[in-house]
Amino acid sequence: MTQYPKVPAYAAEDRIREVAAAAGVRPECLDDVVMRFRDFQFTEAELPAKIAEWRETPGHHFFNVGRDDGDNELFIRAFGPHPSLTARGEVVRKLGEAKAAEVAAQFGTTLASIKPGTVPEHIKIDSANSTNPFLKLRDASGKIDPVAAAKVDKLIKALGIRKAEAIARSVNRTITGLPLKVA
């Protein structure tokens, strides 16, 4: 039996690359996704379902963020709407420079840039499940929750007022738990 070479469909492969990159597939894994497409492991129409399957597979090599592995909040503090250089340093120490740069790219920024990034859809956190005490400091009516207030007090004593303010800003809150005013 003669083995015919696979002829690349460049337009389709470019679309595959674009969809995979937008879904958070690591840049160095895009060629692997295209090779799987060439090997007929999935069609272009099946790609979103395949990406969802890969994302749900624990430890899948295509993703370094996206599941709630406890780092999403750190990534948002480092590269999100109110980026913190301290949080970026923590990401670099934790993941290494190359992987930290990949995470920054998913936010549309770089490690060297101080411009705010956009939180990708695949790692947006649910405010109700967040561990940031400033999100739960006030209820819908504006009353202070005593349990959350105790956590904030403990945080301020442990880290100091400036770091506590930075943590509050990372979730668009003031240190009093009120929403930040956007100019």
According to the model, what pLDDT value does residue 178 have?
A: 80
Banded pLDDT at 109 (limits 50, 70, 90): very high
pTM above 0.75, yes or no: no
Tokens of 99: 């992987």
C-beta of residue 117 within 8 angstroms of C-beta of residue 158 = no
Q: First-to-last CA distance in the chain?
A: 69
Q: What tens digit of pLDDT does each residue of 5-53 get?
A: 466 688 889 999 888 877 777 777 888 889 989 888 999 999 989 888 8
According to the model, what pLDDT value does residue 46 have?
A: 92
Q: What tens digit of pLDDT does each residue of 43-90 get?
A: 999 998 988 888 777 666 676 544 445 678 888 889 988 888 888 998
State the average pLDDT for the chain. Answer: 79
Q: Report the share of the chain in percent with pLDDT over 70.
A: 83
C-beta of residue 169 within 8 angstroms of C-beta of residue 180 = yes
Domain ranges of the chain: 10-56, 72-123, 130-169
